[in-house]
Each structure stands twice: as structure tokens, then as C-alpha cells.
Chains A and B, each alone.
Chain A
Amino acid sequence: MPSFEVSLPDLRASGPVIQAFIGPSRELIATFGALSAASPTPVSALIDTGAASTVITPETARVLQLRTVGIIRVHTPTTVEPVLCRQFYVNINFTNEFAVEDVLAIEAPLTGQPIQCLIGRDVLSRGVLTYSGVDNLFRLTF
């Protein structure tokens, strides 16, 4: 099983952040061909067990020329009423050899932190997350 272990100097301060590439979904590439799809774009992604779904920024969606395939209602700590968000179909490439494919990510601006993606519980439901605070490392296994 593919596994990624990341050690950080201060895991508590930075959070479990991983470098990944967001690209068009396997289904889109299978239908239209790799040449017609944008190349995956690099992101800093925070693994967020508080996020029900994976999130990408509007800028990432724009760079990848993604087309909206859904709309979802979303609650956040600062919203009183649910807000409607776009949904895009993407792949998350963790390495050249391994991607979590066909992820229905929502689009939202990620304010206040230098990250462009939240890895949510939809992706985590496909694997195992190990977080070792005392060792300043975390591991994702799929």
C-alpha cells in the first residue's frame, strides 16, 4: 500500500501539511485524453479532519480550467446559514506514482494560511492517517 511519512520541525505550529499536485480527474482524462487536460498544479495541502470534504481554491480551479459538476451546501464556523459552493472533480497526486483519483472537491477561498488545499475526510476515508505529535510526524497510507 502507498504510504507517505512527513516529518516537520514543529508539527503543532504548521499542522499536517503535505506537498501535492491537483489535476483533472481520471474520468475527464479518460474521456477527453491527457493532451486536452491541464497539467497538475502544485499545492500545499493541509490534512484537516475537521473538513467533511476536500477543498481547493478558486485560483487552483482557474489554473486547471475545471468545469463545475455540482453544487453543495456548506456550513463553516463563521457561517450562520449554509453557503452554496461549487464542486469540481479532481485527482490528488501525492507522488508521480500515486494519486487519489476522482475526488469531488469543493471550491472555497482558504484565507489566512499559505495553503491551497484541504485534504478532507472524503479522502481520509480511503486510507489511514497516523499523527504522532511527540515525534513531529504524520503518515498517510492508502
Chain B
Amino acid sequence: MKRSWNPRIWIGFVLSLAAMVSYPTVFARYPATRDIPWVTLLLIALGVFLVASGVARAFRRPEAYRGKISGSILAFMTVLLVGFFLVAIFYGARQIPASHGAPQVGQIAPDFTLPDSKGNNVTLSRLLDSSFSTDEGPTTGAASDKTAAVALIFYRGYW
């Protein structure tokens, strides 16, 4: 009897890879699938299950299915890559230093002046004192001409 080829192993491997690649490129863009990466974890679980069941049947019925050697190699690579990925997103992403000296609620934010993207200096205290404006001109329809608050977002760059 000719041994049939064992597609579960390959489909599972490709699915696991696709799950890991699609997290940063697609699912991390949306908070609902980023903060708790449930789509990615489901895809990985399905991929790992397919690889495992493919390898299991290659060993249990070697006369019917191929994949004892290639399947073992792919299963090892799947476990290794999935392991790296899970460590990166659940452990690596949390390795940021705590901030003890950042201004807390109720404290006065230290003033600063920094250049904007056109090289103009922007001073926090002057921003707070002015009415908010954008490239399109001052915000219209504001009930009061004074700034209610300024949202200040520190981000890491490389966008």
C-alpha cells in the first residue's frame, strides 16, 4: 500500500506561522484582538493541534501516513517558534521600567519646550494657555475660548 501524504502537519505548521505573522501586521492594530490576543491564540492552538495530530498518526500508522521524520522536525520548529512568540508577547512586552517620578494626578506637570514636526518650538504652558488649534485652524464651535485640557502622549517612535 502506498503511504498517503500527511497534510495536517504542513497545514498546521503554516497556520501557526500565519497566526504569529498576522498578530503584529493585522490583529495588533485593533484593541479588541490586541490586548487579549484571542484570535491569534485560537489560530496557534488550531495549528499546534493539527501538527500534533498529523505527527501522532504518522507514528501510530506509519504504513498509511508519511511524516515521521519531516513531521517531527516541523513539530519541533512549531513548538520553538510558538514558544518564542508567546514569551515575546506575554513576557517581553511587559519588560518596561516602572515610572516612580512621573507627575501624578493632582501634581503640576513640569513645563517644557520641544520642537514640533516643522521645527517650531512648542511650550506646554503656552499650549495650556491658548485655545487649541490644528493645521486646519482653530477649533470652531468651542463654548469657551480657553483650553480645557491638553492630552500629552509619550510614544516610542519608529512609526
Answer whether A and B are interacting partners.
no
